[in-house]
């Protein structure tokens, strides 16, 4: 059954992106959990973990290159934070499920009964092991096409602010230029309890530098921090 799902996955990628992927040992290994290899008395090194090791490096490299080119003015620290926001368990699991990678996993009977197929950490690892197998079976350019249509769709210009922690950037910048203490204040909250809008402001050494309006207090503070950075002439973003 697992092979059938793997073949469906490969055919889907072939049809959508013009790949020429075929089921083979690397793709089987990418989905073979240690509980399966132990149960079937298959050599320990033939489970998914070695390919996950490789795939992790491939994903980090391609993501780093993608962000480096997409955001040419972004500082190293912000690039690192953005990469960590993309290559995280939550995002990897999201695309593992979208691709039905959970159905492709070879599991031992005990691990299956314990719900291993839906375990987030395993799904994130399997996304990376599949990427490692894809790299070995094809090349880096093919991996980039695959990630451009999966993982990298998380990063659009209009979504960029959701990845950036402006409050932390402001804190670090204000400390660097020795401007004073930062304080966030909620100026107002409008609307019913289930649908409030928050208006926040950020003060530095008692002077207001920015304000923001959003559906959550946290996001309104982030927007006020962004406005403060703009007012201060910060050009790291």
What is the residue extent of each domain of the chain?
1-156, 161-232
Percent of the chain with pLDDT over 70: 95
- Alpha-carbon dihedral sign for residues 8, 48, 139, 65: positive
Running DSSP on this structure, what letter comes out for residue 70?
Answer: H
pLDDT for 157 equals: 46
Residue 128 assigned to a binding site: yes
- The CATH number for 1-156, chosen from 3.90.1150.10, 1.10.1660.10, 3.10.180.10, 1.10.1520.10, is 1.10.1520.10
Q: Which residue has the higher pLDDT, 196 or 135?
A: 135
User: Of the candidates 193, 225, 231, 203, which has an alpha carbon nearest to the alpha carbon of residue 212?
Assistant: 225
* Catalytic site positions: 56, 128
Residue 49 assigned to a binding site: no
Compute CA distances 139 → 8, 21, 87, whole Å. Answer: 21, 12, 20
**pTM of full prediction above 0.85:** no
Q: pLDDT tens across 134-168, in order?
A: 999 999 999 999 999 999 988 864 355 556 778 88
CA angle 62, 145, 5 (to 5 degrees): 110
Residue 52 assigned to a binding site: yes
Rounded-to-integer distance, Cα 209 and Cα 189, Å = 20
Place of tokens 């040992």: 25
Rounded-to-integer distance, Cα 14 and Cα 3, Å = 16
Residues 6+ apart with CB under 8 A from 36: 42, 47, 106, 107, 108, 111
CA 111 vs. chain centroid, Å, equals 26
Phi, psi of 197 (to 5 degrees): -120, 130
Q: pLDDT tens across 78-125, in order?
A: 888 888 888 989 899 999 999 999 999 999 888 888 887 888 999 999
Low-confidence winner among 55-59, 62-66, 194-198 (lowest mean pLDDT): 194-198
Rounded-to-integer distance, Cα 208 and Cα 228, Å = 8
CATH of domain 161-232: 3.30.160.20
Q: Residue 202: is it exposed, middle or buried by C-beta count within 10 angstroms (0-12/13-18/19+)?
A: buried
Residues 6+ apart with CB under 8 A from 99: 9, 12, 127, 150
Place of tokens 């690892």: 125
Rounded-to-integer distance, Cα 125 and Cα 29, Å = 13
């Amino acid at each position: 059954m697992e092979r059938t799902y793997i073949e469906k996955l490969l055919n889907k990628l072939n049809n959508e992106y013009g790949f020429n992927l075929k089921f083979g040992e690397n793709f089987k290994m990418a989905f073979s959990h240690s509980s399966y290899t132990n149960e079937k008395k298959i050599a320990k090194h033939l489970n998914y973990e070695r390919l996950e090791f490789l795939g992790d490096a491939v994903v980090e490299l391609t993501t780093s290159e993608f962000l480096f080119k997409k955001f040419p003015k972004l500082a190293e620290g912000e690039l690192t934070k953005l990469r960590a926001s993309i290559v995280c368990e939550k995002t990897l699991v999201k695309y593992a499920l979208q691709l039905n990678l959970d159905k492709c996993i070879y599991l031992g009977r005990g691990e299956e009964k314990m719900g291993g197929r839906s375990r987030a950490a395993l799904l994130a690892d399997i996304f990376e092991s599949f990427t490692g197998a894809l790299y070995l079976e094809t090349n880096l350019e093919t991996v980039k096409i695959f990630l451009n249509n999966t993982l990298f769709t998380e990063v659009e210009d209009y979504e960029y602010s959701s990845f950036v922690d402006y409050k932390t950037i402001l804190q670090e910048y204000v400390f660097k230029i020795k401007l004073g203490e930062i304080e966030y204040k909620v100026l107002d909250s409008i609307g019913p309890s289930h649908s409030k809008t928050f208006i926040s402001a950020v003060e530095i050494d008692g002077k207001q530098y920015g304000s923001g309006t959003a559906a959550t207090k946290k996001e309104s503070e982030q927007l006020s921090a962004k406005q403060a950075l703009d007012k201060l002439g910060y050009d790291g973003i």
